[in-house]
Structure 1
Amino acid sequence: MAFVKLLHTSVMKTAHKIAVNYYTIFKQSIQKRSSLHNLYYLRQYSSIILCPARSITECAVYFHGEGPSVFTLSNLPVGEKYFLEQLCGLSSTKQVLELLESTDHKTDTIVAAALLKIVDTESKTGLILNSNEVFENKIFKTILCHLEKGSQTLSTYSLVNGYKALVQLGMDSHSTIMASLSSECQERVNRGQMTVESLCILGESLLAIEGSNFSMFQSIMDQLENMQVDTWTPEELTMVYSLLQAGLSNGSKYQHLLNQMHTAMFSVSKQLNSNLTSSVLGSLVALKQTQALQLITRLCEYSVKYVPKFSDDELVKVLVALTEFNYNNPLFTEVLEMHVTDKVFTMSPEAVIHVMQYCSQKLLLSKPIFNAVAENFVYNSEHFTTHQIAQLIIPFGKLNYLPPDASAFIRHLEKVLVSRFSQFHPRTLLNILHSCTLMQRFPVNFLSKIFSPHFIQELQDDSGSLDPFVLGQLTQLFLTVILECTFYKGPKLHSKYRQKHFMIFGDLLETQLNTVLFNKVKNGLIGLLGGKKFFSSQVLSPSCYTLDVEIGLDADGIVLSKYNLKKSSKRIVLCIDDEKRFCANCRNLLGKEFMKQRHLHLLGYQIVQIPFYEIDNLNSVEEIVEYLHKKIFPHSFRLKW
């Protein structure tokens, strides 16, 4: 009897695989999607229900009784075949229920597929709508009665998927049907009859209802920990990652299981497709698995070839992972450039923003990406929220870049700020305007509002205090007005809000001096000027900025001692710029450094830039002295000491 039961289960699973394969193929012919997208068609419902590809593929074909011993597409029950064909073309719950009503023999497959479609049609951006109307429908009530009375005869996959569908539709967890399905699930968990896939589907449903403290969830995790992880398929591994991600803020509680999964996933990583790759990377980020460096590197490497195939949501997960794990690959950036320039007008605002954040956080100035995003913003700004607009604009200022059609870009930004001014959070608005000044585009029309007591009051937190960095941004805006917008006659920032120096903000408003590079320059200056007393370092200037090196000259061009700088007729500032002051992939100064040098020049300082790429190749002191002489005193003879 055991052998007969096993054979029956195998036959039923085979039948359902054939049914869903037919369902998927038919969907392809209707919607003409790409082959890869179609292959994982059933995975599109990850935010709602039945997210695994095989969520209904291994259900028994019949609610009761035995099935035929051999199944092919041609001998699939005609009712089921017709139902799956019709289901593909439906777009509303009403249509699904009407189709169900017209179906006489409601098999396990039909019920599972109908529930899948109902949740799909009732879902918009992951939220379930009109669930009360669904519950009151007499056909839907018939399905519920069918599930409740036949819960013990349901296949495991139909059981857990039906349970999850009702959870997603907001069914009362204390209702009789939920109690019946939950009880049956508990029985099968206790008997160890569930596969990895079923355990994961059930586990995520339990998390949505009770959280990770639910006793049945603990039983599921105990079973998963006792399984042979190295026998799991890539899909099963991905599902367990997702389950842990849904139930844990970090993976410390099940770290031993995760370590086994990392090893197993690394061994099968070549089998992953774009969907699985992005999903696993997203889980690794959420579970803070930074120690899984080997797996992370492998998945990041494979993600390069999948960039053109990623959906927007998948691309977001990968970009977050690349940033979080600090993975750098120029080839990925090149492929991303091609993808964005080709697809930017069809990409979701969220995906566009994450592309910009990826470039911003890695200091990657990709002109093709920035140009494409700027053009998209000009034509589609209404699709972006105010917060997203800030996230889009800030990288331009941070990396000190304006697109070719800068006038249209800035003009449209100003138009958006005017039309949606009241919608912007004060802090968000300040970030945008500050970024504009970094790009040397001055928001004169908004300065009177920014400097008003009312606006500054709105910037305060609940305790009535202002974030010091906000004060730093306001101070820098004030300096910009004084130095670069001399025509502005409106209100100014009150003196009590002005900061005395920017060093207290670390690297936020100016990058701190690189000690190693400074020591190299210092030795050269000693040889050039004749001693340490002829220059000062890390000087706090009255203009809030920190001067890397300051040299004073009298009216005759003689170098003065640093103790007599007040008698200087001319002051020279050396900007010793290391790699951190430039974009990571080019020699473009960051916006904050460009603004600093711009302001110091307007304050009367002679700016001498000492970039790392010029001095790194100089090894001897004599070479450095000669270099500094040409940079600082290009028209004077060098004195020998």
Structure 2
Amino acid sequence: MAASVLCRRVPRLHQLPGLSKDSTLAQVLRSKVREADDLKGCKGEPHQWEASLPAQHGLYYISRSYSVCNFASFCNQAEKGVCPSTPAPSLWQQGNRYSVNGLRYLSSSSNARLESAFNKDSESPLPSESLINGQPVKIDARAFQRCRPEYASITVDLAQRPHPVEWQKVMPLLQKVGVLKGGMKPSDISQLFVQLSHLESNKMPLLKGHKHFIMLVQYTGEHLGRFTNLQLIEVLRSLVWLEIPGAHPALRRYDAELCFRVGQMSLHQLLLTADLWRCIGRQVPQFLESLYSVIHLHHRGLMEVAELVQLLYIMGEGRKFPMELRHPVEQLLLLHLDKLHPEEIGAVFLALFKSQTLISEHAVTCVVEKACSYVGDMSNLAIVNVLKYLRFSHLHHETWLENMAQEVPRRVHGMGVQGLMHVALAFSALHWQNDQILMAIAERVPSVAVHCRSKDSSKLLWAFGNFGFLPDQSPSFYPSLIEALRQRKEEFLKYPAHLLSGLLGLIFVSQFPEDLIALALSPDFVSIALQCTDFDLKKDLFTVDGAVALELPQWTGPQLSCELREELWKLAMSDVCQKVEVLEAESLLCDLLGGEKFVCKRMILPHTRSIDLEVHLDASGQPLPVNPASNTHTLQDSPVPSHPEWGRRNVGVTISDELFAQLTTKNRTRPFSSPAPVNKHTVHMEEPDEGWRKFDTRLFFGNDNKDLARRLYRQESKRPIKLAIQVSNRNQFCYRSRQLMGLHSMKRRQLKLAGYQVVELHFWEWFPLLRKSRTEKRAYLHCKIYNSLY
């Protein structure tokens, strides 16, 4: 009887005032609501009013307006183009718009869409999955939450699922929903959700498609304002176990209500709510922004270790670290440093990495030093997280990196593909080469390459190619990853950068898989790559195309269009280097060789992305005017030099016995014909010390140089000698090493293929010389140029 009365209290649409003459208004309203929802998506924006689910029912939810008005007045205002606030009824019975009989009038398509929304696979954010020995292995990024009991009140332990109950025990609960209907109190509803969340997992789709469950969710969303904070959090916790998809539109109402309540919640409630949203898999940027604001104003000084680490975890998963919290969080991190457990250190670094947040070098160093004391007890995931952040911050913590030389080879067979990739990528980004680590990863990769994503394969290839890891060092390494790329070609349509990164890594070590190159240079792929908004891939395309043209002369496959190549060429040639060390070398070379026409500062190979100083010499060693468009010059075409100190012949410097005696005799104090005295020490070049800080500007010339120069000078060859003079810097080399990184090593190789001799002004020689006299610098450049001729 009660149910019958309750049903009659809600008039049907055709009985409502204002709709009796024309029922199309409701359809218009529904259409506008659907359009608005489509535009807004599920981003969690707060609204003055929102459509409840399903939208076709014309039911509206207001997050915090509780005054009384009737539905007819709403329709009258809506007819005039006004969207008023629709309050919840003052009595529970008045709020009952959902009854079993009422559901009969819902369209089958609406029910189908609603059921589909409930049963949609959620974005399972945790845990991530890797593969070890071909078997999927769960990597729990939330393992740190089990380090101390304090996390129990601010997080959800996903490993502690409620004890499952059978479907037969859930049916009475659903029937209870049908009986109570609008008479349900918030306490009843929260308890029902808790009990229903115990249902065994394989029966969840059956539950979410049941009409009484749909009615329960709709009714709860309509009256969220009547729930206490604890009751609302309990319902949200139940939604985690009920596996409600994060994108489900019903969750917009929960998001709006919780955003409104942020200022009324305790620190633990705020952190727990944020964690529940994370477990559901829904992005709630406005809630997080409100949470950070409240913490900054009221709670930042109250956080203990668990609260601090959990806050950082939330920031990392939300991909945002508020500027106003950086300093307070850094202070708290240093304050609680001695209390951090190994897995908490890993969680801290992962959060900073995901939120792309740079804290002070001092703070990073302190935390890494703490990690060094725990390195043997840290999980593989925690170690990888530390390396991720060191890669992002470009910080060389030598103790940690040296420890990895022992830890990585020991752990490599227990690491999945993604872990291997991140380790290799971190060392590559830091330019820290360690043969033990590289060999351990290279021997491991072929057994797991079949499970590589295109991202994993491409970044492994890039990292190893960047180190110049040769194919014969591990014969199966490169072939296994090349095959892995071939198996993932469809992913390149969505992630074109992956193919180009992998190919560049291969080209660095002279590997040219022609089928993948043909794909990368095909018009369709080039079009996709040029439309990529995440990265500018033009330079990568240009580098691949230019390398193929130089190193595969037999290539008949696709190439970049003439128009695109011309555009990229002009862009590269317009890049003017303004580095002091390059400008100084250019100026001195002009003085040395007789004028600006003998030195050309340009990208000799534009696809290699760096500028050199080009100099042409004839067979006798005398400079020729540099015309990049033509390499055919004769000695007669060369003008007379204007510099008084150099040469009495047509141009350049005459290599005479007196000149070499001045350069090579230990007791001579005057170089060339200059009257200015120079250093009286022995002329030689000193090796850079371990820290690259103590350099000497002294030069070394072998005893046989004079005879070699004479023989070269007497040669009658008329072919000009093309020199590419490079001013190097430390970023081009492996850390504390003279080994060039991949792109620069490739450039040297290709310059030689193009007919150039490379003359390098090593930064450990040239940079200290910048503080010396012009005479010493000219002497250095002279010897560099003419020593390169033999």
TM-score with structure 1 setting the length: 0.65
1:327 counterpart SS class = coil
Q: Which residue matches 1:46? A: 142
* Alignment size in residue pairs: 520
- 1:534-553 pair list within 5 angstroms: 535-541=598-604, 548-553=612-617
1:344 counterpart SS class = helix
Structure 1 residue 235 corresponds to structure 2 residue 306: yes
- Unmatched 5+ stretches in structure 2: 1-138, 170-190, 218-227, 635-719
Find the partner of 1:554 among 618, 621, 628. Answer: 618
The whole-number CA distance in structure 2 between the counterparts of 1:133 and 1:55 is 33
Tell me if structure 1 keeps the 8 A contact 2:390–2:396: yes
Stretch deviating more after TM superposition (628-637 or 295-304): 628-637
Find the partner of 2:416 among 334, 343, 348. Answer: 348
- 1:36-115 pair list within 5 angstroms: 46=142, 53-56=149-152, 96-97=164-165
Find the partner of 1:264 among 332, 343, 359. Answer: 332
The whole-number CA distance in structure 1 between the counterparts of 2:752 and 2:356 is 45
Q: Which residue matches 2:505? A: 435
The whole-number CA distance in structure 2 between the counterparts of 1:121 and 1:301 is 46
Tell me if structure 2 keeps the 8 A contact 1:344–1:373: yes
AA aligned opposite 2:613:
V
Find the partner of 2:784 among 622, 628, 631. Answer: 631
- 1:409-448 pair list within 5 angstroms: 409-422=477-490, 424-425=492-493, 427-448=497-518
- Shift, 1:296, TM fit: 3.4
- Shift, 1:389, TM fit: 0.7
Q: Which residue matches 2:552? A: 485
Stretch deviating more after TM superposition (203-212 or 399-408): 203-212
Tell me if structure 1 keeps the 8 A contact 2:586–2:613: no
Structure with bigger helix share is 1
Q: Which residue matches 1:204? A: 275
Closer, same or farther in 2 for the Cα pair 1:432/1:290, shift >3 Å?
closer
Closer, same or farther in 2 for the Cα pair 1:161/1:333, shift >3 Å?
farther
Closer, same or farther in 2 for the Cα pair 1:630/1:423, shift >3 Å?
same
Q: Which residue matches 1:600? A: 751
Q: Which residue matches 1:516? A: 580
Q: Which residue matches 1:329? A: 397
Stretch deviating more after TM superposition (550-559 or 49-58): 49-58
Q: Which residue matches 2:57? A: none
Structure 1 residue 249 corresponds to structure 2 residue 314: no
The whole-number CA distance in structure 1 between the counterparts of 2:435 and 2:338 is 33
Q: Which residue matches 2:595? A: 532
Tell me if structure 1 keeps the 8 A contact 2:143–2:343: no
Closer, same or farther in 2 for the Cα pair 1:581/1:258, shift >3 Å?
closer
Stretch deviating more after TM superposition (280-289 or 582-591): 280-289
The whole-number CA distance in structure 2 between the counterparts of 1:186 and 1:635 is 70
- 1:354-369 pair list within 5 angstroms: 354-369=422-437
Deviations along 1:238-282, one digit per CA (max 9) or x if unpaired, are 223334555673414xx2x55434323321211111222222333
AA aligned opposite 1:442:
F
- Shift, 1:489, TM fit: 5.1
Q: Which residue matches 1:24? A: none
- Shift, 1:381, TM fit: 0.1
The whole-number CA distance in structure 1 between the counterparts of 2:269 and 2:761 is 63
The whole-number CA distance in structure 2 between the counterparts of 1:628 and 1:466 is 37
Tell me if structure 2 keeps the 8 A contact 1:581–1:593: yes
Tell me if structure 2 keeps the 8 A contact 1:577–1:612: yes
Stretch deviating more after TM superposition (422-431 or 231-240): 422-431
Closer, same or farther in 2 for the Cα pair 1:213/1:516, shift >3 Å?
closer
Q: Which residue matches 2:571? A: 504
1:567 counterpart SS class = coil
- Shift, 1:390, TM fit: 0.7
- Shift, 1:212, TM fit: 5.3
- Shift, 1:602, TM fit: 1.7
AA aligned opposite 1:388:
D
Closer, same or farther in 2 for the Cα pair 1:326/1:499, shift >3 Å?
same
The whole-number CA distance in structure 1 between the counterparts of 2:294 and 2:503 is 55
The whole-number CA distance in structure 1 between the counterparts of 2:144 and 2:209 is 21
Stretch deviating more after TM superposition (562-571 or 232-241): 562-571
Tell me if structure 2 keeps the 8 A contact 1:45–1:51: no
The whole-number CA distance in structure 2 between the counterparts of 1:121 and 1:630 is 81
Deviations along 1:130-153, one digit per CA (max 9) or x if unpaired, are 64368799xx9xxx9xxxxxxxxx
- Shift, 1:472, TM fit: 1.0
Percent identical across equivalent pairs? 20
Closer, same or farther in 2 for the Cα pair 1:542/1:333, shift >3 Å?
closer
The whole-number CA distance in structure 1 between the counterparts of 2:442 and 2:350 is 28
The whole-number CA distance in structure 2 between the counterparts of 1:388 and 1:347 is 13
- Shift, 1:562, TM fit: 4.3
The whole-number CA distance in structure 1 between the counterparts of 2:365 and 2:556 is 55
AA aligned opposite 2:552:
C
- 1:604-619 pair list within 5 angstroms: 604-618=755-769, 619=772
The whole-number CA distance in structure 1 between the counterparts of 2:515 and 2:141 is 47
The whole-number CA distance in structure 1 between the counterparts of 2:540 and 2:395 is 31
Tell me if structure 2 keeps the 8 A contact 1:552–1:570: yes
- Shift, 1:435, TM fit: 2.3
Tell me if structure 2 keeps the 8 A contact 1:474–1:493: no
The whole-number CA distance in structure 2 between the counterparts of 1:120 and 1:354 is 39
- Shift, 1:351, TM fit: 1.9
Tell me if structure 2 keeps the 8 A contact 1:300–1:322: no
AA aligned opposite 1:276:
E
Q: Which residue matches 1:69? A: none
The whole-number CA distance in structure 2 between the counterparts of 1:506 and 1:341 is 45
Closer, same or farther in 2 for the Cα pair 1:502/1:166, shift >3 Å?
same
Structure 1 residue 575 corresponds to structure 2 residue 726: yes
Closer, same or farther in 2 for the Cα pair 1:590/1:422, shift >3 Å?
same
Tell me if structure 2 keeps the 8 A contact 1:469–1:505: no
- Unmatched 5+ stretches in structure 1: 1-42, 60-86, 102-111, 123-128, 145-154
Q: Which residue matches 2:671? A: none
Structure with bigger gyration radius: 2
AA aligned opposite 1:201:
L
Q: Which residue matches 2:383? A: 315
Q: Which residue matches 2:224? A: none
The whole-number CA distance in structure 2 between the counterparts of 1:543 and 1:226 is 53
The whole-number CA distance in structure 2 between the counterparts of 1:438 and 1:341 is 25
The whole-number CA distance in structure 2 between the counterparts of 1:455 and 1:136 is 43
Closer, same or farther in 2 for the Cα pair 1:499/1:316, shift >3 Å?
farther
Q: Which residue matches 2:346? A: 278
2:623 counterpart SS class = coil
Closer, same or farther in 2 for the Cα pair 1:120/1:236, shift >3 Å?
farther
Q: Which residue matches 1:407? A: 475
- Shift, 1:523, TM fit: 6.0
CA RMSD of aligned residues (A): 5.3
AA aligned opposite 1:440:
S
The whole-number CA distance in structure 2 between the counterparts of 1:136 and 1:492 is 54
Deviations along 1:543-599, one digit per CA (max 9) or x if unpaired, are 766652222223443223447964052222212212122223422112222222222
1:498 counterpart SS class = helix
Tell me if structure 1 keeps the 8 A contact 2:147–2:341: no
Tell me if structure 2 keeps the 8 A contact 1:200–1:240: yes
Tell me if structure 2 keeps the 8 A contact 1:371–1:404: no
1:572 counterpart SS class = strand
Instruction: Give the number of the structure with larger relative contact order, counting CA–CA contacts within 8 Å between residues 6 or more apart.
Output: 2
Q: Which residue matches 2:240? A: 167
